[in-house]
Chain A
Amino acid sequence: MSAMTDTGHADAHHGPAKGLMRWVLTTNHKDIGSMYLWFSFFMFLAGGFMAMVIRAELFEPGMQIVEPEFYNQMLTMHGLIMVFGAVMPAFTGLANWMIPMMVGAPDMALPRMNNWSFWILPFAFALMMSTLFMEGGGPNFGWTAYAPLSTDYGPKSTTFFIFAIHMMGISSIMGAINIIATILNLRAPGMTLMKMPLFVWTWLITAYLLIAVMPVLAGAVTMMLMDIHFGTSFFNAGGGGDPVLYQHVFWFFGHPEVYIMILPAFGIVSAIIPAFARKPLFGYTSMVYATASIAFLSFIVWAHHMFTVGIPVTGELFFMYATMLIAVPTGVKVFNWITTMFRGAMTFETPMLFSLAFVVLFTLGGFSGLMLAIAPADFQYHDTYFVVAHFHYVLVSGAVFAIIAGVYYWLPKWTGHMYDETLAKTHFWLSFIGMNLTFFPMHFLGLAGMPRRIPDYALQFTDFNMIASAGGFLFGTTQLLFLFVVIKCVICGKKAAAKPWEGADGLEWSVPSPAPYHTFSTPPDVK
């Protein structure tokens, strides 16, 4: 191959620029990936702190620590920060770091736009979090921002919440466009679509989902803005609109959004389990088709979030059965992960531990999702802690565990050092115990009828809430240990080989550790 990469700067081949401006002006996918990951970690801590406020208030019945109004703001901000600030940017960060290396590309397809996608985020979150200090407080209607809570009864700062959402949407759409262009156009010769690592495949489909639904969210909050300031009646029945319309538009975005937060996790786990089972992934092709099926189904299930809102019975039936269908491709995936491990030569380093926990606990969250999908049963579960337990099992032990697994898996490649395995395993076990202590009792609370999003509760819920709060504090504090392990790994540690994991497979392991600032300026030949 005679291919070479031009760079606009004579010394760009040698390495990064010096100082702070390196990070502000960079066009390098590794720099941008690192910024995404650090940003998402700080957002994770900020959102986690708000979760601690919530758990502290719920430790005992009665109001003791915060005002109900502030509790609502914490609840809303916690959701928004975790979804848009922690989980999504973490996946985008991993995509930035890994996709060009996995497909043998010199960088992302549109490097300057890549930098813009990132730098919008700090401004967007500065704007969103500043609402907490505005007159009337920040958004207090839950991350779903249902009308009329957000339109007629929202605080003045709702306007800025809407614009912050717009900014995050712009960032996500540009990030997704970049990822699609990179995957479709910058693959090394020989890297056919069906040879791509599953992380690349899942991100390709995730990016498609992002471009399809982020504009719909933009449309929803734009109508909200119009209702608040310009006298329209989209979500007001007095003018012929319908508050339920907001829910339809929001969940048309919202359901694909939850798959946006889990498909890349599937990709990470599909890289790690084969590596530590020392066997190729079982059923690669079926994994690809299952991912595509899940993405398709995500567009036709949204009203299962709204079973109790008063939609026609035909609608309830359609959305119930469509939702249950998702269990089929998801089942294919779980089956494939387990079959990959079957008779494998397994070892249990930290990435594998988090991946195994992912498979078990995500499946548990999937099963509670199936329970919620049953429309007549959902009338009982709706807006109880059972729902909170369900989505924290798929988001914390699902998305977050997979992200952490991916970070441990690729840290040697990023830093050139091995992380401290003992500390990392401690991090895993404390996280695993803390997570289950926090969220498992919530199933029982929900089934017993404890409503979500309420700062006070009846006395009989006390024991389980105390356990959940204790677990929450354990899980939250443990993440500081994660920060420590990562920083330690960046600074020092045993030198990592180019391929530190015996069973690992993929182009990213063919370059030295730490990966040079520019990789694959000449595309590798993929057999």
Chain B
Amino acid sequence: MAGESSYYVPAQSKWPIIASIGLFLTVVGAGIMMNDMSAGVKDSTGHWVLFAGGLIMAYMLFGWFGNVIQESRSGLYSEQMDRSFRWGMFWFIFSEVMFFAAFFGTLFYVRHFSVPWIGGEGAGEMTHMLLWPEFISHWPLMKNPDNTSFQGASGVIDPFHLPLLNTLLLVASSVTATIAHHALKNNERTKVKLWLVATLILGFAFLFFQAEEYIEAYDNLGLTLASGIYGSTFFILTGFHGAHVTLGAIMLTIMLVRVMKGHFTPEKHFAYEAASWYWHFVDVVWIGLFVFVYLV
């Protein structure tokens, strides 16, 4: 740590309190909306609260990041500051890994324990006899133990159509993002723009096909959130992944805009690297999804 020139400690900032208010309104709005939805209330006020919260959050993100970009471009950030940002992003991604780990763990648990137990395996013999003697354990679970409350799906997504295509798209987008990064390091700015645009096209194509797949699941296969544990795990894993791809694509879009505006130098472009780390992270999660949700 020797030889640091300065460490920037920002002055007072209004963004944290604005962010807290925005977050509060967002979750309160979402909560009211969900409670009204389940109670069958039409015209929920929740939408408006949620919308207001979302607006405040968007305003905050623009303002806060705007401040950071301004400070960075006026040369206030030392190398040590850069390392703080790196640690921050690294541990943030680690927290995201653990978030997905909870859902992957759930998937393993239901496949290896709860579904076989309800089917009478191992210690589940009495459970099986007393609760649902007709139930046969299998995976993908199409006929649920209580198939009237939870209507099972009539089919599942074929991994070798859309999911395989999506795998190729996302892996390719990781490659293009890396090419763009190398171009940025070599100061070839036209190349950066081209490969970033390519990355974004691949990313949005992924999201488009993922939406297609959901429509197919809901309309033709009866595979929904409510079709038992197969649908529950399928949609929570792919859904949260899709949300993260969306976030990553937004980050990369902003990076594209910043490149267009002439930001970043071959030496200093941590924001780009952070977005790129995040993009690789959603790519790796997808590989896990493709193998454990679709294939095996």
A residues at B contact (CB < 8 Å)? 2-9, 12, 17, 21-22, 24-27, 105-107, 109-113, 115-116, 119-120, 122-124, 126-127, 156, 159-160, 162-164, 166-167, 170, 173, 176-178, 180-181, 184-189, 211-216, 218-220, 222-223, 225-226, 228-234, 236-242, 244-245, 248-249, 252, 310, 312, 518, 523
* Contact assessment for B10 and A245 in the assembled complex, using a CB-CB cutoff below 8 Å: no
Counting from the closest, the 3 A-B pairs by CB-CB distance are A219-B102, A238-B146, A231-B226
Query: Which of B81-89, B173-181, B269-277 is the contact stretch?
Result: B81-89
Contact status B23-A167, CB under 8 Å: yes
- In the assembled complex, the CB of B277 is this many whole angstroms from the nearest CB of chain A, namely 14
Instruction: List residues of chain A with CB within 8 A of the CB of B98.
Output: 211-213, 215-216
Is there contact, CB below 8 Å, between A211 and B232?
Answer: no
B binding-site residues for A, Cβ under 8 Å = 1-2, 4-17, 19-21, 23-24, 27-28, 30-31, 34-35, 37-39, 64, 71, 76, 80, 83-84, 87-88, 91-92, 94-96, 98-99, 101-103, 105-106, 109-110, 113-115, 117-118, 122-123, 131, 141, 144-146, 149-150, 224-226, 228-233, 235-236
Find the A residue at minimum CB distance from B78.
Answer: A6
A12 touches B144 (CB 8 A): no
User: A120-B23, A211-B95, A239-B145 provided; 13 other pairs, C-beta below 8 A?
Assistant: A22-B12, A164-B27, A185-B80, A212-B98, A215-B95, A215-B101, A216-B98, A218-B99, A232-B225, A238-B144, A244-B114, A248-B105, A523-B1
Q: Which residues of chain B are within 8 angstroms of A126 by Cβ–Cβ distance?
A: 24
Contact yes or no, B231 A185, CB < 8 A: no
Give 8 CB contacts A-B under 8 Å. Answer: A107-B7, A113-B88, A186-B1, A216-B98, A226-B232, A232-B232, A242-B117, A518-B9
CB–CB A123/B38 < 8 A: no
Q: Which of A107, A127, A160 has most B Cβ within 10 Å?
A: A160
Chain B residue numbers with a CB within 8 Å of A185 are 1, 80, 83-84, 87
Residue pair B144, A240 in contact (C-beta under 8 Å): yes
Say yes or no: B10 contacts A27, CB within 8 Å.
Answer: yes
**Minimum distance in angstroms from A416 CB to a CB of chain B:** 23
| Complex interface: chain A residues within 8 A of B122 (CB) | 312
Assess the B9–A240 pair: CB atoms within 8 A.
no
Give the residue of B38, B92, B114 whose beta carbon is less than 8 angstroms from that of A242: B114
Q: By the criterion CB–CB under 8 Å, are B17 and A241 in contact?
A: no
Central interface residue in B9, B37, B98, B122, by most chain A CB within 10 Å: B9
Cβ–Cβ contact A6 & B9, under 8 A: yes
Query: Of A239, A252, A523, which one neighbours B149 at CB under 8 angstroms?
Result: A239
Contacts of B235 in A (CB 8 A): 232
Beta-carbon nearest neighbor of A4 in chain B: B6
What chain A residues lie within 8 Å of B28 (beta carbons)?
127, 160, 163
| Residues on the B chain within 8 Å of A22, using CB | 12
* A159 & B34 in contact (Cβ 8 Å cutoff): yes
Q: Are B145 and A186 in contact (CB under 8 A)?
A: no
Cα A170 to Cα B17 in complex, Å, equals 14
Contact of A220 among B19, B20, B80, B102 (CB under 8 A): B102
A166 touches B8 (CB 8 A): no
Q: A135: nearest residue on chain B (CB-CB)?
A: B35
How far, in Å, is A320 (CB) from chain B's closest CB?
A: 17
- Nearest B residue to A109 via CB reads B84
- A358 CB → nearest B CB, Å: 30
Question: Knowing A24-B17, A215-B95, A232-B232 touch, does A223 contact B2 (C-beta < 8 A)?
Answer: no
A237 interface neighbour in B9, B11, B92, B131, Cβ under 8 Å: B131
B226: nearest residue on chain A (CB-CB)? Answer: A231
Known A-B contacts A233-B229, A240-B228; the reply to A223 vs B106 at CB < 8 A is: yes
Give Cα A184 to B228, complex, Å.
45
Q: Give the residue of A228, A231, A242, A252 whose beta carbon is less than 8 angstroms from that of B113.
A: A242
How far is B117's CA from A167's CA once the two chains are assembled, in angstroms?
A: 36
In contact, B225 and A231 (Cβ under 8 angstroms):
yes
Residue of B nearest to A184 (CB): B87
Nearest A-chain residue to B14, judged by Cβ: A25
- Cβ-defined contact, A226 with B9, below 8 A: no
Are B144 and A233 in contact, with the CB atoms below 8 A?
A: yes
A112 to chain B, nearest CB (A): 5
B232, A233: Cβ atoms under 8 Å? yes
Shortest B53–chain A CB gap in Å is 11
> Is B144 touching A219 in the complex (CB atoms < 8 A)?
no
Tell me the complex Cα distance, A109–B88, Å: 9
Cβ B91 vs Cβ A177 within 8 A: yes
Chain A CB within 10 A, most for which of B21, B24, B38, B103: B24
Complex contacts, B94 vs chain A, CB 8 Å: 211-212
Give complex CA distance A110, B15 in Å. 13
Are A225 and B34 interface neighbours, CB within 8 A?
yes
A523 to B80 alpha-carbon distance, docked (Å): 13
Across the interface, name the chain B residue whose C-beta is closest to A10. Answer: B11
Select which of A105, A177, A216, A236 is within 8 A of B99 by beta carbon: A216
Q: Known contacts A159-B35, A229-B34, A238-B145; is A9 also within 8 Å of B11 by CB?
A: yes
Contacting residue for A223 out of B14, B80, B131, B236, CB 8 A: B236
A232 pairs with B226, CB closer than 8 A: yes
**Of residues B37, B98, B101, which shows the largest number of chain A Cβ atoms within 10 Å of its Cβ?**
B98
Measured between C-beta atoms, what is the minimum distance from B238 to chain A in Å?
Answer: 13
B140 CB, min distance to chain A CBs, angstroms: 10
Q: Which residues of the other chain, B, contact A156 by a CB distance below 8 angstroms?
A: 35, 39
**CB contact under 8 A between A110 and B145, given known A115-B13, A186-B7:** no
Closest Cβ–Cβ distance, residue B228 to chain A (whole Å): 4
Minimum Cβ distance to chain A for residue B178 (Å) = 26
Pick the contact of B31: A159, A178, A189, A234 (CB < 8 A).
A159
Q: Is the CB of A240 within 8 A of B87?
A: no
Most A CB within 10 A of own CB, among B20, B28, B92, B145: B20
Partner of B38, one of A188, A212, A228: A228
Q: Which residue of B lies closest to A27 (CB)?
A: B10
List of A residues within 8 angstroms of B99 by Cβ = 215-216, 218-219
**A105 to B98 alpha-carbon distance, docked (Å):** 30
Question: Which among A109, A156, A212 has the highest number of chain B CB atoms within 10 Å?
Answer: A109
Select from chain B the residue with minimum beta-carbon distance to A253: B102
- Whether A176 lies near B110 (C-beta < 8 A) is no
In contact, B20 and A7 (Cβ under 8 angstroms)? no
| Nearest opposing residue in chain B for A312, CB measure | B123
Q: Which residues of A contact B114 (CB under 8 A)?
A: 237, 240-242, 244-245
Which A residues are CB-close (under 8 A) to B34? 159, 225, 228-229
A17: min CB distance to chain B, Å: 6
Judge whether B10 and A8 touch: CB under 8 Å.
yes
Expressed in whole angstroms, the Cα–Cα distance for A12 and B11 within the complex equals 7
Quick check: A8 and B105 within 8 Å, CB to CB? Answer: no
Q: Are A110 and B16 in contact (CB under 8 A)?
A: no
Q: How near does chain A come to B24, taking the closest CB pair, in angstroms?
A: 4
A106 to B8 alpha-carbon distance, docked (Å): 9
Closest to A130 in B: B28
Asked if A163 contacts B30 (CB within 8 A), the reply is yes
- A109 and B87 contacting across the interface, CB-CB below 8 Å: yes
Q: Which chain A residues lie closer than 8 Å to B145 at the CB level?
A: 237-240
